[in-house]
Structure 1
Amino acid sequence: MGMKEKWLERAERIRLSDYVYDLPDERVAKYPLAERDQSKLLVYNQRQISHLQFTSLPGQLPAETLLVFNDTKVIPARAYFRKPTGATIELLLLHPEFPSRIINEAMLVKGGCVWACMIGNKKRWKAQDTLETQVLIDGERIRLVADYADYENNLVRLQWDSEHVFLDIVRALGEIPLPPYLHRKSEASDTLAYQTVYARQDGAVAAPTAGLHFTEPVLKALEQNTIHKTHLTLHVGAGTFQPIKVDTVTEHRMHSEQVVFTRQTIQDLLDHTGCIVPVGTTSMRSLESLYWFGVKLFRKETTVFMIEKLYPYALLEEELPSAEQALEAILSWMQAQGVEEIVGETEIFIFPGYRFQLCKGLVTNFHQPGSTLLLLIAALIGESWRDLYAEALEHGYRFLSYGDSSLLWAKEA
């Protein structure tokens, strides 16, 4: 049996039941703190745990660390239409299909577009029915019509009779889609609270919540401590909340998410002299996916930026280029193409056995039992995740999206 087959056998032995813990509902933070940076910060380094406040983060990072932030911005992606019969149809925008699948472009479309949606109360919205509503933008009343572009696949065509771009329509029509485990409707305060202070690129259905703790004073303190920062964009999809429903975790169907990197960000990664620490699991998944795209270019496999869920496990370590070689391969390709940014898709699945190629640590919140994100944490720090989560529960940490924070350093190889 070859090494690859042995790896697959080991991976198939990973059981979801080994990655669950008891999370009482009262420990889930239903609302954020009044002051973002007053959250607790648990620091984990080689089995040592410290309990601090988030404002201590700059002093916990070595000088010259490169922090990588996800600058995606949550859009009010949940919209409601009322039928003449009185039935309410709920649309949750997932990702654009036409005229562009690139989210940043899809936000600027005029007149009409097609999006894949989750549809609430679909049984009351027949294939041939048209839904209608009105939105008010700057005093102008705009008619918005929705019908099916593809009934079976939940593709919804939206059309409006004005020069406003789709982002304007969504902002006027929709509401912020909070995570389902908060068990509450979004409120006016969530419009700001469920958004990082550095959010720039509209298109996410969920916030990169590890970033919610950052404030301007914390960002300034990072700068004063010679901590560098750079940005990428991963538009977080609703799939991030998708539970694993199979005990053999390798059989879980991973959601695909869109990532965007500028040439400057890749150059920043290549030029850094300290360690790379992503803010949030979305940033970590993006960075590791970027490396594997570099591998594909380096090995001349393809120029398509699509990282399949188990691709990282298919190659032996001696077959892999260094992080530097992978990033240089990407920059060379971008230069040859004359492009300043790359847009890709990733469904990378990081679970125990994964070897991190770019990331040395992680700033993150506390995650749901039995989730893909908890598996990622276990891949980073090993079996100690159990002790860490038990201690966080014991010390009154608040969990999930609006909860407290942690700084985790990778286990020694």
Structure 2
Amino acid sequence: MDVDLFDFELPRELIAERPVAPRDAARLLHVTSGGLADHVIRDLTELLRPGDVLVSNDTRVIPARLFGRRGEAGVEVTLHERVTLDSWKAFARPAKKLRPGDTLRFGGDFSAAVVEKGEAGEVLLRFDRSGDALMVALEEHGRMPLPPYIRKGEADEADRADYQTVFAREKGAVAAPTAGLHFTPELLAALDARGVRRLTVTLHVGAGTFLPVKVDDTSDHKMHSERGVVTDTVAHAVNAAKAAGGRVVAVGTTSLRLLESATGEDGVLRPFDAATDIFITPGYRFRLVDVLMTNFHLPRSTLFMLVSAFAGLERMKTAYEHAKASGYRFYSYGDACLLEKVP
């Protein structure tokens, strides 16, 4: 498909710089075949039904942005894909002068060696520690990797809490599954009381989620790969809820992409522990997910293509125009929409 079909104008002032407080006070646009309805997030207790299963991503964002030195020269790296317990692929700036064998020092005795150089500023780094010890060092020396459209990517101390969902448990993401940012313990308790079943899957979101689509046709775009896990317990519970007539409600495009990757043509969700590079565009036949809660996405992005496949391109264009005219806040710290799948 022509990528231009997914383009739209967005005034800069509609891009949210900070989340609202409390989180469940953000706005929620309900998009159905019958039209559009304005709500707030806490209205999910009315919009979701007893027997529905709400599937969230429990990945935890790590402080993946590091500032260090190569000799006397400054260098910045943003980790984006874990390779082993002590090595990560990262984007480096400036990368031109980096060579395999160089040592990058990030403060104290924390350092990493450049193992390989890739394309477009990518390097493979091997750190001087691994596993939990590496995570501790990142917490001490790293910054949260905000997307570039929020305050030019410059995170502060508040973002350590703001850019983390209430579901966050499994460390490894370098971007937040942002639909999950809207939930609070109070809302979760209300959903429990409503009879909505809550489950989690894990998809470690990579920096590739921010990469622009640089081709003219969607068929020429190479999707980034991310690691995901669906346990046997979760698969069984989702299948049981679906068989009993409940809807599968995905919190965020990351949860949806993982669920669809792990579901067979027969519509049965299976345990999954692998990488997925599924790229969903209009024409895709959804196998499992019935409802999608998601934030408002960038023009010409793979995520806007995904929501257009789920709810219909023209319907999503209408929804986004309504959101703009109504002052909805866009992107990671912005408001959300609840999408009913096109029949």
| Range of TM-score over shorter length | over 0.9
1:133–1:21 CA distance, 2 compared to 1 (3 A)? closer
Residue among 94, 99, 110 paired with 2:80: 94
**Superimposed CA distance per residue, residues 237-296 of structure 1 (whole angstroms, 9 cap, x where no aligned partner):** 0011111111111110100000011111111111112010100000000000001xxx4x
In the TM superposition, 1:192-203 aligns within 5 A as 192-203=161-172
Residue among 170, 186, 193 paired with 2:155: 186
Contact 1:89 1:124 (C-alpha < 8 Å) held by counterparts? no
1:163–1:343 CA distance, 2 compared to 1 (3 A)? closer
Counterpart residue identity of residue 104, structure 2? L
Q: In structure 1, what is the equivalent of residue 290 of structure 2? A: 360
Contact 1:114 1:149 (C-alpha < 8 Å) held by counterparts? no
Query: Is structure 2 residue 258 aligned with structure 1 residue 286?
Result: yes
Counterpart residue identity of residue 114, structure 1? S
Return the alpha-carbon distance in structure 1 between the equivalents of residues 180 and 76 of structure 2: 28
Contact 1:148 1:155 (C-alpha < 8 Å) held by counterparts? yes
1:200–1:399 CA distance, 2 compared to 1 (3 A)? same
Q: In structure 2, what is the equivalent of residue 37 of structure 1? A: 24
Larger Rg: 1
Return the alpha-carbon distance in structure 2 between the equivalents of residues 51 and 270 of structure 1: 31
Q: In structure 1, what is the equivalent of residue 94 of structure 2? A: 121
Return the alpha-carbon distance in structure 1 between the equivalents of residues 283 and 51 of structure 2: 28
Return the alpha-carbon distance in structure 2 between the equivalents of residues 53 and 245 of structure 1: 35
Residue 127 of structure 1: how far off its partner (Å)? 3.6
Query: Is structure 2 residue 203 aligned with structure 1 residue 234?
Result: yes
Secondary structure at the aligned position of 1:367 is classed as coil
Residue among 123, 127, 136 paired with 1:168: 136
Q: In structure 1, what is the equivalent of residue 192 of structure 2? A: 223
Secondary structure at the aligned position of 1:180 is classed as coil
Query: Is structure 2 residue 321 aligned with structure 1 residue 390?
Result: yes
Counterpart residue identity of residue 267, structure 2? A
Contact 1:89 1:125 (C-alpha < 8 Å) held by counterparts? no
Segments of structure 1 that go 5 or more residues without pairing to the other structure are 1-13, 99-105, 107-112, 136-142, 296-319, 332-341
Return the alpha-carbon distance in structure 1 between the equivalents of residues 239 and 113 of structure 2: 47
Q: In structure 2, what is the equivalent of residue 381 of structure 1? A: 311
**Superimposed CA distance per residue, residues 36-59 of structure 1 (whole angstroms, 9 cap, x where no aligned partner):** 111011111114111111111110
Q: In structure 2, what is the equivalent of residue 77 of structure 1? A: 64
**Superimposed CA distance per residue, residues 208-237 of structure 1 (whole angstroms, 9 cap, x where no aligned partner):** 000101001110110111111110000000
Secondary structure at the aligned position of 1:370 is classed as coil
Residue among 249, 252, 255 paired with 1:277: 249
Return the alpha-carbon distance in structure 1 between the equivalents of residues 123 and 257 of structure 2: 27
Segments of structure 2 that go 5 or more residues without pairing to the other structure are none
Residue 144 of structure 1: how far off its partner (Å)? 1.9
**Superimposed CA distance per residue, residues 297-320 of structure 1 (whole angstroms, 9 cap, x where no aligned partner):** xxxxxxxxxxxxxxxxxxxxxxx4
Larger deviation: 29-38 or 362-371? 29-38
Counterpart residue identity of residue 394, structure 1? A
CA RMSD of aligned residues (A): 1.6
Counterpart residue identity of residue 288, structure 1? E
1:69–1:164 CA distance, 2 compared to 1 (3 A)? closer
Q: In structure 2, what is the equivalent of residue 132 of structure 1? A: 105
Q: In structure 2, what is the equivalent of residue 207 of structure 1? A: 176
Query: Is structure 2 residue 111 aligned with structure 1 residue 145?
Result: yes
Return the alpha-carbon distance in structure 1 between the equivalents of residues 112 and 158 of structure 2: 28
1:251–1:124 CA distance, 2 compared to 1 (3 A)? same
Residue 130 of structure 1: how far off its partner (Å)? 1.9
Contact 1:43 1:51 (C-alpha < 8 Å) held by counterparts? yes
TM-score of the superposition, structure 1-length normalised?
0.78
Residue 128 of structure 1: how far off its partner (Å)? 4.0
TM-score of the superposition, structure 2-length normalised?
0.94
Q: In structure 1, what is the equivalent of residue 299 of structure 2? A: 369
Residue 190 of structure 1: how far off its partner (Å)? 0.3
Secondary structure at the aligned position of 1:134 is classed as coil
In the TM superposition, 1:303-322 aligns within 5 A as 320=265, 322=266
Counterpart residue identity of residue 396, structure 1? G
Query: Is structure 2 residue 342 aligned with structure 1 residue 407?
Result: no
Residue 131 of structure 1: how far off its partner (Å)? 2.3
**Superimposed CA distance per residue, residues 48-102 of structure 1 (whole angstroms, 9 cap, x where no aligned partner):** 11111111111001221101000000000011112442x211111112223xxxx
| Alignment size in residue pairs | 335
Secondary structure at the aligned position of 1:408 is classed as strand
Return the alpha-carbon distance in structure 2 between the equivalents of residues 144 and 174 of structure 1: 11
- The runs of at least 4 consecutive aligned structure 1 residues that moved more than 6 Å come to none
Return the alpha-carbon distance in structure 2 between the equivalents of residues 409 and 163 of structure 1: 40
Contact 1:353 1:379 (C-alpha < 8 Å) held by counterparts? yes
Query: Is structure 2 residue 218 aligned with structure 1 residue 245?
Result: no
Counterpart residue identity of residue 271, structure 1? A
Query: Is structure 2 residue 281 aligned with structure 1 residue 351?
Result: yes
Q: Percent identity?
A: 39
Secondary structure at the aligned position of 1:165 is classed as helix
1:82–1:354 CA distance, 2 compared to 1 (3 A)? same
Q: In structure 2, what is the equivalent of residue 67 of structure 1? A: 54
